Amino acid sequence: MITILDVGQDALEARSLAVILNDEYQVLHCPDPSSVFAALDRVEAAAILFDLDRWTKEEIAAFEERRAYPPIIVLSREIAPSRVIRAIRSGAADYLAKPLDIEVLKSALRKAIGPRPSYPFIGRSVAIHKAAQLLRSYARFDFPVLILGESGTGKEIAARAIHSLSGRSKAPFVPRNCAAFPENLIESELFGAAKGAYTGAVERPGAFELASGGSLFLDEIGESGLPAQAKLLRVLESGELWRLGGSSPRRVDIRLISATSRDLELEPERMRSDLLYRINTLILALPPLRERREDVSELADYFLRSACRGPKRFSREALDLLLAEDWPGNVRQLRNVVHRAIVLSGDLEEIRPRHIMISSRLPPQ
C-alpha cells in the first residue's frame, strides 16, 4: 500500500484522515514536525501532508533547506496568496485549504505521486489495486492460497509474487499446470516415483519434493483428477507423501498456492469438496481486463516498451480501438495484440488502427 506521512496535524485529525484514506493509502502520523527527518529515514513515504499551521518558521526554514524529500502537499486554514506562493516556490506540489475536501485531497495525492503500478500488476485501477493489496497481505502468512481468475488474468504472476514476498522467498518456487499432464502421469509428476513403479520408471522426486521449503503452484488444480486429489489431500494434512511405488513416506514442507479458471464449487465431479475447503483458506480473485479498462492504456504501453526500444507509439485512434475491446483473453490477449501491432507497423513510429488486429479479424482499412 502507498504510504503517506502526515506531519504536524493534531491526533484527532490524523486519525480521521487515516480512516478516510485507508482504502488507498497507509497514513502515518508524525505529530512533532521536528522529527520529520528521522521519520523519513525510517519510512519510504510517497508523499507528505504538511500542516503549515503547526510549524514554526525555524522548522519550515530547516525543511525547505532539505532537497531530498517526497512530494509535499501543504495544508492550512489560511489561504493568503503570499503563503501559497511561498509554499509553491519552496517546492510544494499543492496547497489545500482546511477543513479538507477529501476528493480534492485524493486528487492532489494522485497528481503528486504520479503513476504507480500495483505490484506485481501493471495498472492503477481500484480493482487491481485491491487485488495487489490483498496479495501482499497474504504473503505474510503461510496458509494455502487459491487464486481465481479467467485465463490470461495473471494467476501465475500473482503466485510468484506471493512467494517472492513471503518468508519462503529464498527457497524454490515450483509451478505445475495440472491440465498439462494426462491423468495417469499427474501422480508421479506431483509425488515422484520409485524405480520400477511403472515400465521404464526411474527414481525421481516429484514437484512436492522439488519445492521443499518453498512454494508449490498448481495451476488449474481442478484438472488434476480425483485419484490424485485424494493423495494431495493426504499430503497437505499429514505433511508426508509416498512416491509412486515407494516403500516409505517422505516429509515435505511446502506452501501450496493453487489456481483455477473454473467455479469448482459447482463441479463436484471434477473437484473433491474436502480438498477445495483445504486449499481455499485464502482466496485471491483477479479481475478480468474488461472490469479494469482504465488499465488498458498503461498495459499496452508497457508491452510496447518491453518489446520495442525505438520511439514507436500508439495513435489516439489505435488506442481507442484497444479501449473499446472486451478482451476475453484478458491481459495475455492484449499483450499478443500489441506484439502483433509492432510487427505490422514495421518501421513506422506510430501504430495506427490498421495495425490493430484482434483475434482472427482483419484489421480495419
Render pLDDT for 27-74 as a digit per residue (tens, 0 to 9): 888 877 667 777 777 777 888 888 877 666 666 666 655 544 678 888
Tell me how far apart the alpha carbons of residues 224 and 65 are, in angstroms, rounded to a whole number.
63
Do 244 and 334 have their domain in common? no
Instruction: Give the tens place of pLDDT for each residue, 295-312.
Output: 999 899 889 988 986 788
Residue range 125-141: mean pLDDT, rounded: 89
Give the span between the Cα atoms of 100 and 107, in whole angstroms.
12
Query: Looking at the domain assignment, is residue 216 inside a domain?
Result: yes
For residues 347-361, give the mean pLDDT: 87
Q: 103 and 72 in one domain?
A: yes
Report the pLDDT averaged over residues 139-144: 92
Dihedrals φ, ψ of 317, to 5°? -70, -40
Residue 53: give its domain's CATH number. Answer: 3.40.50.2300
pLDDT in the model for residue 62: 60
Top-confidence range, 9-18, 23-32, 165-174, 244-253? 165-174
121 is a domain residue: no
> Do both 277 and 295 map to the same domain?
no
pTM assigned to the model: 0.69
The answer to whether residues 132 and 281 belong to one domain is yes
Specify the pLDDT at position 303. Answer: 92
User: What average pLDDT does the structure give for the chain?
Assistant: 86
pLDDT score recorded for residue 59: 60
76 and 19 part of one domain: yes
Q: Tell me: do 280 and 156 sit in the same domain.
A: yes
| Same-domain check for residues 68 and 180 | no
Mean pLDDT of 230-245: 92
Name the grid cell of 154: 495473471
Residues 214 and 249 in one domain: yes
Distance CA 332, CA 151 (A): 8
Verify that 139 and 268 share a domain, yes or no.
yes
In a domain, 362, yes or no: no
* Assigned domain for 364 exists: no
Residue 365 domain flag? no
- Find the CATH number of the domain harbouring 310: 1.10.8.60
Q: What pLDDT does 5 receive?
A: 86
pLDDT band at 109; cut points 50, 70, 90: confident
Residue 91 — very low, low, confident or very high, per pLDDT cuts 50/70/90? Answer: low
What average pLDDT does range 119-139 have in this prediction?
88
96 in the same domain as 234: no
269 and 299, same structural domain? Answer: no
Q: Specify whether 132 is located in the same domain as 276.
A: yes
Residue 365 has pLDDT above 60, yes or no: no
Q: pLDDT value at position 43?
A: 74
End of a domain among 113, 137, 164? 113
Quick one: pLDDT at residue 236?
95
Choice among 24-28, 330-334, 336-340 with the minimum mean pLDDT: 24-28
Structural domain for 239, as ranges: 126-285
Average pLDDT over residues 11-29: 84
Please state the rounded mean pLDDT for residues 328-333: 96
